[in-house]
Amino acid sequence: MSCSDPAEAAVDPGAAKQLNAMLARFSASELVAWVLENGPAVHVLSSSFGAQAAVSLHLVSRLQADIRVILIDTGYLFPETYRFIDQLVELLSLNLKVYSAFPGPAWHEARHGSQWEQGVAGIEAYNHARKVAPMHRALAELGVGSWFAGLRRSQSRSRASIPFAQFSNGLWKWYPLADWTDVDVEHYLEDHGLPRHPLCAKGYVSIGDTHTTQPAQYGVDIENTRFFGLKRECGLHGRP
């Protein structure tokens, strides 16, 4: 049995562990190149176009220029985020695929009210309807076999155990930046002349929807800058 065979690792926990041990020896670029050659097609990259999104977008797209980049548009992103998306799509020539929930924001609120103000249950229902369900549709329609994402262990406690490779719900998820620190990210941005999200200059460290994102404040846990501190993850990436 080869530790470099994703098909075997998908059904054998020991092989999955060996696969992650092998990938840990690669640089992020080497990991992406290996997956593009050995990982099951179709390959996609998801991005929320958040604070440091330019890193994974540049890293992956320079190795496969036409890779499809999935954006889930909730209809509640910041105006700065929409402009940042346009900037990066032009700068990196991204093959962007936008998926949104039906119905639109106004209709959703007419039916359910402001779900993000209805406690944990309301936030989870909102996230599933406007984020998780559209992502599932995107993965199915595109026939995805390998999904790149830019999650890092240092981003939050809920991501501290993210592996480099994870088989979930019938497809492989790859996290080439899993072991990167904030310093690594900043160096990459500077080395490649890449822009940061404009809201970073206003103190935002994790950027999602307008109604559930707050700038960081001195003495306040940055985990509480999203979803009023009630949740950290939106559900697109479950804990490994």
Task: List the catalytic residues.
Answer: 234
CA distance 232 to 133: 18
- Closest to 9 in 3D by CA, of 196, 148, 216, 21: 21
> How many whole angstroms separate alpha carbon 144 and alpha carbon 30?
21
- Residue 111 CA from chain centroid, whole number: 28
Query: Which amino acid is residue 4, in one-letter code?
Result: S
Q: What residues have CB less than 8 Å from 212, skipping those under 6 apart?
A: 116, 123, 226, 227, 228
Q: Select from 52, 232, 230 the least CA-distant residue to 160.
A: 232
